[in-house]
């Protein structure tokens, strides 16, 4: 069945899909390959904010206790933090500040998370924690300006509903931490944005209403609500990696919608909602992130998520990511391979395709999104259905559209189509066919770079009655971007293609 796309827009495309992106711990941003990767991401996608763990962990070195003349003192040192934020701002991206984890010199216990040992215990002194928060946020204001930092969301902790990230998943202890932290942030400036509670998937019913009741009853400052969204099941461990079952992608959209549903009628009902982490799997060592399947899996989420939340941040942009240790594989969870090699993955291309869409939505469906920009260019994002059960995927899916073309004089339209699939734009597939080399040669890296480029086609389409008929035949796990632009024919009257080889004019 052919879908007739109306000429008048039905809405505007939200930029929630690119408002923020996730990263590994912040001190990784001191590495050159990390910065090179982020520069590529910013050039081709252009996120506005970046969020990562460990701002207050020992690796960034902000909290520095010492003894002098028999008394304990604390020095707040910002050298590494300044280098990280400077690098971000130079690349056109701002911090989405996550306050955590606990500095070891302030921690009440020794429980840690991740290979790099982020401490997840409450502070042994909430007064000293508040001083640390005020000093850190105050320094950012002094260095980058109040107007600038007022635009940076400040989130309190990460997934306190999980015992791995907050000792005993103690809600009362987190509420106290949030209250102390929020007031400390507002002590610096009342217009700074502070929020939370950065819940994990599945914690909404118990945690979020209780958190909302706490901040309301005690008049604790809160400017936004945050949570995370993932659809993966328990980790099935293999050497140097995991495999997991996945729920259908619609489950991600259901998780996006959950906070506003749970907060309806509460004092927090109208606050912005930020999904500060989302993905299929939270594990960086799950190879599903590297596949064409993954791009097709997330396509409907990127196309529709902005209707539900103010932002949703892909976790994470970079393969410079060491939560479970130093990567042992060429592929490791982010948008690209070991990122100084600058080899893109299908999900990277999905985001780059989103960046080519116009602001006006003309139509949307279960397998497509049609947009138009101010020049009249129509951009269609279409994706093949996926099967999360691991069954034989549908091949040969077709999206048939009738598109309105601007310009009454146009007789033809130019079609530019870019695609990723099992066969195109798929470095993972090429790497597998090369025998999965752990340390590719220079020649193999060149092959992978070429294999990572999207497949591209172009052609001329007739315009009949101000419309173009577009048939998009999608291969297995394909995501395609079709750009259709009206053509102004400037061919000179003497041009005759049949004379290219010196023949006589017709």
Q: Which residues are tagged catalytic?
A: 159, 277
Residues 157, 166 contacting (CB under 8 angstroms): yes
* Backbone angle region of 473, left / alpha / beta, with phi > 0 → left and psi within -120 to 50 → alpha: beta
Shortest CA distance to 257 belongs to which of 212, 220, 303, 204? Answer: 204
Reduce the DSSP state of residue 5 to 3 states and report it.
coil
Q: Give Cβ neighbours of residue 305 (< 8 Å, ≥ 6 apart).
A: 14, 16, 17, 252, 253, 256, 275, 312
CA distance 300 to 383: 8
Beta strands 479-486; 467-474: pairing state: unpaired
The residue behind tokens 């530019």 is 416
How far, in Å, CA of 108 to CA of 191, rounded? 31
Distance (Å, rounded) from C-alpha 96 to C-alpha 18? 13
Half-sphere exposure of 228 (CA within 13 A, CB side): 28
Phi-psi region of 452 (alpha: psi -120 to 50; beta: other; left: phi over 0): alpha
For residues 112-141, one letter each, b for 16 or more C-beta atoms within 10 angstroms of the residue's C-beta and e for the rest, the string is: bbbebebbbbbbeebebbbbbbbbbbbbbb
Q: What is the 3-state secondary structure (H, E, C) of 270-330?
A: CCCEEEEEEECCCCCCCHHHHCHHHHHHHHHHHHHHHHCCCEEEECCCCCCCCCCCCCCCC
Strands in 40-126 per DSSP E: 49-51, 63-68, 71-76, 94-95, 97-99, 112-113, 118-119
Closest CA to 94 of 23, 32, 44: 23
User: What token pair was written down for 345?
Assistant: 């993955």
In angstroms, how far apart are the furthest CA atoms of the chain?
Answer: 101
Start-end of H helices in 77-163? 79-90, 126-144, 146-149
Three-class DSSP category at 36: helix
Question: First and final CA of the chain: distance in angstroms?
Answer: 42
- Look at the block and give the residue holding tokens 């001329």: 460
What are 406-411's contacts with CB under 8 Å, separation 24+? 406/372, 406/376, 406/486, 407/376, 407/486, 407/488, 408/466, 409/488, 410/463, 410/486, 410/487, 410/488, 411/462, 411/463, 411/487, 411/489
Cα angle value 456/460/466 (rounded, 5°): 125
């Amino acid at each position: 069945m052919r879908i007739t796309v109306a000429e008048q827009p039905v809405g505007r495309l939200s930029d929630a899909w690119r408002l923020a992106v996730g990263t590994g711990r912040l001190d990784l941003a001191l590495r050159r390959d990390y910065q090179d990767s982020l520069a590529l991401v910013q050039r081709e996608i252009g996120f506005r904010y970046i969020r990562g763990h460990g701002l207050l962990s020992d690796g960034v070195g902000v909290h520095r206790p010492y003894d002098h003349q028999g008394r304990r003192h604390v020095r707040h040192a910002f050298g590494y933090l300044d280098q990280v934020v400077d690098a971000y701002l130079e690349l056109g991206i701002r911090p989405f500040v996550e306050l955590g984890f606990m500095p070891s010199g302030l921690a009440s216990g020794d429980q840690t998370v991740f290979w790099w040992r982020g401490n997840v215990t409450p502070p042994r002194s909430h007064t000293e924690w508040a001083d640390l928060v005020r000093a850190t946020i105050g320094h950012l204001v002094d260095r980058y300006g109040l107007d600038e930092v007022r635009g940076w969301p400040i989130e309190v902790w990460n997934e306190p509903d999980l015992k791995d990230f907050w000792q005993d998943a103690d809600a009362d202890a987190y509420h106290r931490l949030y209250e102390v932290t929020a007031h400390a942030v507002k002590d610096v400036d009342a217009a700074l944005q502070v929020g939370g509670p950065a819940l994990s998937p599945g914690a909404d019913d118990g945690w979020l209403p209780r958190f909302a009741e706490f901040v309301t009853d005690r008049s604790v400052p809160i400017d936004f609500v945050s949570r995370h969204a993932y659809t993966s099941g328990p980790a099935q461990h293999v050497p140097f990696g995991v495999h997991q079952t996945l729920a259908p992608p619609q489950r991600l959209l259901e998780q996006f919608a959950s906070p506003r549903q749970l907060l309806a009628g509460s004092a927090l009902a109208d606050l912005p909602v930020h999904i500060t982490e989302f993905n299929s799997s939270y594990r960086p060592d799950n190879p599903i992130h590297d596949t064409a399947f993954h791009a097709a899996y997330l396509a409907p989420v990127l196309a529709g998520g902005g209707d539900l939340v103010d932002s949703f941040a892909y976790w994470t942009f970079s393969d410079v990511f060491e939560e479970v240790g130093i990567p042992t594989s060429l592929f490791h969870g982010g948008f690209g391979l070991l990122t100084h090699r600058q080899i893109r993955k299908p999900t990277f291309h999905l985001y780059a395709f989103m960046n080519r869409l116009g602001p006006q939505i003309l139509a949307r469906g279960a397998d497509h999104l049609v947009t138009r920009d101010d020049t009249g260019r129509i951009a269609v994002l279409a994706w093949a259905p996926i099967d999360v059960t691991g069954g034989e995927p549908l091949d040969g899916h077709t999206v048939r559209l009738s598109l309105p073309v601007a310009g009454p004089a146009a007789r033809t339209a130019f079609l530019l189509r870019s695609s990723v699939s099992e066969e195109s734009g798929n470095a993972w597939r090429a790497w597998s066919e090369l025998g999965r080399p752990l340390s590719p040669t220079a020649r193999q890296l060149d092959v992978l770079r070429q294999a990572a480029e999207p497949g591209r086609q172009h052609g001329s389409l007739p315009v009949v009655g101000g419309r173009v008929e577009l048939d998009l035949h999608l291969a297995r796990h394909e995501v395609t971007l079709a750009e259709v632009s009206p053509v102004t024919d400037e061919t000179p009257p003497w041009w005759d293609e049949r004379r290219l080889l010196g023949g006589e004019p017709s």
